[in-house]
Structure 1
Amino acid sequence: MKSLLYLISLLTVLSLNGCANQAFFSPTNERDPSEKVSRVYSLSGNHIAYRLFPASNSPQRGTIVHFHGNSGQMEQTQEKVVWLTQHRFNVLTFDYSGFGYSTGNATDKAAYLDAISMLNFINQYNHQPLFVVATSTGSNIFLRAWADNPVAIDGMILDSPFSSYIKEAQFVLRQSPFGIMYDWFAQFIMRDDYAAEQSLHRVPSSSHALVIHCQHDAVVPFEFGEHVYQHIKGSKTFMALDDCRHARAMTNEHPHHQQHIAQWLKATEQLVRNQTSVTPIEMIAYQEK
């Protein structure tokens, strides 16, 4: 997430135009992708760039869709999930509007509509089991979109999650000198119209969930992850981590965490397959006009 001073400045300036939530989004834009990307039309009115990384071996275990965080773009954030192809999962990464090779501007509403569009897109395929990995702001975006558009998902990993733009802005403001004196400012200039906070009770309970959070996360506090875990329903597991930085637990910096996460995915995949008869069908990435 962007620097504290930058966010504080944007909260102040953007509040004048009623769009302070844009302070959460710090996209990296690229003209020329390093590899070919495909695109799908979004309800936001934009074209969303995505890339499918096939499982390295057969038989495939399922497909994972990554909802990345508030900054960068998918080529920079794919390190958090692309390693899962080595465990025989297909991995699909994509960029929200205004990020990377996607068109449009980055806003909370656009990201919400993009998330719904991607859920509908991936749901066209008989590629069960289907998993979602949602990182930081991506968890907020995904959970709200899924609550409003409950397509079939077999499992989800929520990495460093939070569910309220307002509460996260208040936390960030408190980190600045004397911030505790004006953190109340956030509730007047921020909005949770497209956040998951008021919709956690509507998140489908049919999915298996793994919530992971670093205990000393300096960007999204540990208790925000606990809050999300406590309010989602269904089969769930919480993994408290003590040796990582914000949203880095799934990268190659922490192979031991990767091992535990892969074990959870494989065990959940077997549970799903035992519950339903699944015939995997290869998913083919294509260009949608």
Structure 2
Amino acid sequence: MKKDQAGKVIRIILLLIVIYLLAGLFLYQYQSSVILRGTKLPRNYTFHFDYPFREFNLPLNDTDRLNMVLFEADSAKGVVVYFHGNTSNLVHFARYVPVFLQHRYDVLMMDYPGYGKSTGPNTEHDLYNDALVTYQLARSYFPADSIILYGKSLGTAMASHIASLHPCRMLILECPLYNFDMLARRYFRIYPVSMLLRYHFPVYRFMQHTFGPVVIFHGKKDRVIPYRQAEKLKPYLKKGDEFITLPRGDHNDLYYQPLYQQVMDSLLSK
């Protein structure tokens, strides 16, 4: 009887080990699909927005294109290069454009490969290169001191990376990561995530080399990227940088918070 029970326990343990290894293999193999959950659009899809815009399809190679839209303000005094989050595509994130247009800032928003009409490889290195292509397009229209780099959630990695390499008027981070390793450990505690991950997005490292002022917004009720993780960025803020806490803010509603609107109105009016 005891041998049967011992054998049963061993089989259960072996089964759990197999499940653990298979799940870990899945996480490693398909992590880009888990992290980058964009919604694709047909290449011939026609955009419709409530404000003037121009569409760009910049070639990355012989077959792949980086799709982006420039939303145009009246008598623009600058441009906001907006890097969105890890879901949907720019059609969804266009809802956040009006606050910038109202303050006479154009908004240049690109879709990462696999999002919207953009195609191509989407390694972390590729995402940074695509962000650079977007910044360079903005520079062809405006000087660096008229460019605001804006990152939301995942996009904070791209925005802060560019800000660590190139000058800008301001870097604004909404619901930023500290790095992706820390966030992944929250969801996959039983795995050595730093060894498994091919995406790291070290915002904290980029923050140490940024040009220009930095403003961070984060909600205390954020259930996607915990507030306490964003707080770890505070030591990397320079004199004059700001960390704005929204007590009732969640991950996707900061745009509608009165404090966010008040601060953004002040920042964009300068």
- TM class by shorter chain equals 0.7 to 0.9
Q: Which residue of 2 aligns with 1:190?
A: 197
Q: Matched residues in 2 for 1:99 and 1:165: separation?
A: 20
Residues 202-258 of structure 1: per-residue CA shift (max 9 Å, x gap):
233xx12110000121110112222234314353111100222203212xx335522
For the pair 1:244 / 2:246, whether they are aligned, the reply is no
1:44/1:165 CA distance change after superposition, 3 Å: farther
Deviation at 1:91, TM superposition (A): 1.2
Report the Cα distance in structure 2 between the residues aligned to 1:77 and 1:11, rounded to whole angstroms: 32
Q: 1:223 to 1:21 in 2, by over 3 A?
A: farther
Which structure would you say has the larger Rg? 2
> What CA deviation, in whole Å up to 9, does each residue of 1:72-125 have, x standing for no partner?
101101222333201221111111111101112443232121112112221223
Alignment correspondent of 2:39 = 28
Residue in 1 that maps onto 2:264: 261
Give the equivalent residue in structure 1 for 2:100. Answer: 84
Within 2, Cα distance between the matches of 1:91 and 1:171?
33
Match of 1:66 in 2: 82
- The question of whether the paired residues in 2 share the 8 Å contact of 1:84 and 1:262 is answered with no
**Cα displacement (A) at 1:143:** 1.6
Q: What is the aligned counterpart of 1:50 among 55, 68, 72?
A: 68
Q: Does 1:37 align with 2:50?
A: no
Give a deviation string over 1:168-218, Cα, whole Å, max 9, x none. Answer: 101223xxxxx5xx1x431221145654344432233xx121100001211
Other-structure match for 2:210: 203
Measure, in 1, the Cα distance between the counterparts of 2:261 and 2:114: 30
Cα RMSD, aligned residues only? 2.6
Distance 1:159 1:27 in 2: 19
Equivalent pairs: percent with the same residue? 21
Change (3 A) 1:21 1:10: farther
Question: Matched residue of 2:107: which SS?
Answer: strand
**Relative contact order, CA 8 A, sep 6+: which one is greater?**
1
Q: Cα 1:123–1:153, aligned 2, differ >3 Å: closer, same or farther? A: same
Tell whether the 8 Å contact from 1:160 to 1:213 is kept in structure 2 after alignment.
Answer: yes
> Is the CA contact 2:79–2:138 (under 8 Å) kept in the aligned structure 1?
no
Instruction: Provide the TM-score with structure 2 as the length reference.
Output: 0.79
Q: List alignment gaps of at least 5 residues for structure 1.
A: 1-8, 174-178, 268-289
CA contact (8 A) 1:21 1:190 kept: no
- The aligned amino acid for 1:13 is F
Distance 1:160 1:45, change over 3 A: farther
Question: Residue deviations 1:152-178, cap 9 Å, x none?
Answer: 2111210000131211101223xxxxx
Q: TM-score, normalised by structure 1?
A: 0.74
Say whether 1:132 aligns with 2:142.
Answer: no
Give the number of aligned pairs: 241
Structure 2 vs 1, CA of residues 145 and 61 (structure 1 numbering), >3 Å: closer, same or farther?
closer
Partners in 1 of 2:239 and 2:199 — Cα distance?
24
1:46 deviates by 3.5
Out of 165, 171, 196, the position equivalent to 2:180 is: 165
Q: Per the alignment, in what secondary structure is the counterpart of residue 134 of structure 1?
A: strand
